[in-house]
Amino acid sequence: MRIIRTKNYQDMSQKAANVVFSTIILKPDCLLGLATGGTPVGMYQVLADRYVMGDLDFKSVKTVNLDEYVGLSEDHPQSYRYFMMENLFSKINIDRANTYLPNGLAEDSEAECENYEEVITKLGGVDLQVLGIGNNGHIGFNEPADVFDKQTHVVKLTENTRQANARFFDSIEQVPTDAITMGIKTIMKARAIILLASGEGKKEILKEALLGPITPKVPASVLQLHPNLIVVADEAALSLIPS
């Protein structure tokens, strides 16, 4: 595990963007695994800026996102497809046909999960997976559990996660109860993983995830086993982890 300590959110976003940048430079047709949430927004902005400056070309890049809410259409402002369009895809020259998210409106969610695994395999596997970490240690929507979930699957969101995400909706009742998420095994198959974290609010869970026991009660703790994990986090998030 490599830990890159940054001064603040902006610095984290810059350094994380540099890791994505180098992945694209080294492999222009790479498959990026992308995440939503507040944490990666700044990194996406830096990447979009570097595209505008002419430093970065996304024309052959492919992306798969970690997860999507069940029941929200692509044009729902809180769907993750919409988030990705707003924060990245509409700002860069990526081919929309090369951007994949689980279909939250699929009639058969289980079949959609299998289909999503196949898509990732057919695309050659994820070169770099971007992750945030939930307050409860979730990665993607893999919530604390008794066992590590393996493949892409449908998940019931915990109350904690629904409350954390309610800030994006008008009320908590509007937050979907289910999502489709890549599983822990899907995530761990990525050739490299970059975990982002920012702010005081993440310091306890980040310590548990990176230094605590490996347990499905803290899903992110499994990342300790990944051979190529890069943590890019700011001082506030890393304040309980000695340098």
Catalytic positions, written as ranges: 67, 136, 138, 143
Alpha-carbon distance of 240 to 243, in angstroms, equals 9
133 near ligand PGA, rule: CB under 6 A? yes
List the one residue from 42, 102, 104, 132 that touches ligand PGA (CB under 6 A). 132
List the one residue from 38, 144, 212, 216 that touches ligand PGA (CB under 6 A). 38
183 near ligand PGA, rule: CB under 6 A? no
Q: In terms of C-beta density within 10 A (0-12 exposed, 13-18 middle, 19 or more buried), how is residue 151 classed?
A: middle
39 near ligand PGA, rule: CB under 6 A? yes
Judged by CB under 6 A, the stretch of 13-21, 91-99, 127-135, 172-180 that binds ligand PGA is 127-135
Report the largest interatomic distance among the alpha carbons of the chain, rounded to a whole angstrom: 49
104 near ligand PGA, rule: CB under 6 A? no
Alpha-carbon distance of 64 to 178, in angstroms, equals 19
Judged by CB under 6 A, the stretch of 33-41, 99-107, 112-120, 224-232 that binds ligand PGA is 33-41
Residues that bind ligand PGA (CB under 6 A): 37-39, 132-134
